[in-house]
Amino acid sequence: MGKFEHKLTARDKVIVPVQLTEKTRFRFVCDKGVPCFTECCSDLFICLTPYDIIRLKNNLGLSCDEFLLKYTEPFILPRSGLPVARLKMEGEQKLCPFLLDGGCSVYPDRPVSCRYYPIGMGMFRNTDKKKNEEFYYFVKEGFCQGMGRGKEWTIAEWRKNQGAVEYDEFNQDWMEIIMKKESLGPMKVHPQTLEMFFMVSTNVDRFRDFVFGSRFLEIYDVDEQTVEKIRQSELELLKFGFLWLKKALYNEGPLRLREEAKRPKKKVKPL
């Protein structure tokens, strides 16, 4: 493996095709004492999860619209065809917009993909157990000198230490929505439904306006306790948004139409 590492160029990125578990052990360190410190913060493809966006925009004191306009660009996930936001790199070197000389300026609220590095996380559908399962893999980059050095971790310890567990728990429903769309293969989705997916995934402010500023609560049967929770908390609102997406995309989940909304409208005869 050592000889292989020397053949990597500075920007090469290799996903090691070995499925890891939470008990897999590895050594890794990333701090100012490592010669390649912050070199991994350029020319990145970072798909921002809904929880990433909320943490980042609150860290910066911005509205969702302001954050999306300044720091992101839209992207279509190739397998699912669903629209998401990815972090927009800056300048000729394609640097992360949050990178300063001393390191990450939003470190406490950095995206989940940054928290995992040098581990990658994915999810697959276990048809035998009829449930989704997470898996992990190593990401090796030519410039990285932190792998094989420093403290030894299990992947479970690394996830907890880096705060990734909270992110994964919050984004799980969103990831399952994407996974199901991928597993269904090509299927026609109404453009308005795609717009709704993008809104929930990236802009909790606009979703709040949609829920409370339209006939949404007249159409869907939402109990008063839930209405109050989503009115007070953007995180509860986002969780509710995932439920609504499952209903809109797959007609699944506990969200139900009100009985009066199910009845066909009576045609009014012209005078």
Q: Taking the domains of the chain in order of start, what are their residue ranges?
A: 185-250
Between CA 20 and CA 10 the distance in angstroms is: 25
Between CA 106 and CA 70 the distance in angstroms is: 15
pLDDT at 140: 81
Contact present, 143 and 30 (Cβ < 8 Å)? no
pLDDT at 245: 96
Between CA 142 and CA 64 the distance in angstroms is: 35
Residue 48 sits at φ, ψ, to 5 deg, of: -85, 125
Contact present, 34 and 147 (Cβ < 8 Å)? no
**pLDDT averaged over the chain?**
88
Contact present, 56 and 172 (Cβ < 8 Å)? no
pLDDT at 5: 33
Question: DSSP character for 25?
Answer: E
Between CA 115 and CA 54 the distance in angstroms is: 16
Half-sphere exposure of 143 (CA within 13 A, CB side): 13
Read off the pLDDT of residues 61-74 as tens digits, 9 standing for 90 and up.
999 999 999 999 99
Contact present, 81 and 40 (Cβ < 8 Å)? no
pTM exceeding the 0.85 threshold for the entire prediction: yes
Residue 242 pLDDT greater than 60, yes or no: yes
Read off the pLDDT of residues 188-233 as tens digits, 9 standing for 90 and up.
888 999 999 999 999 999 999 999 999 999 999 999 999 999 999 9
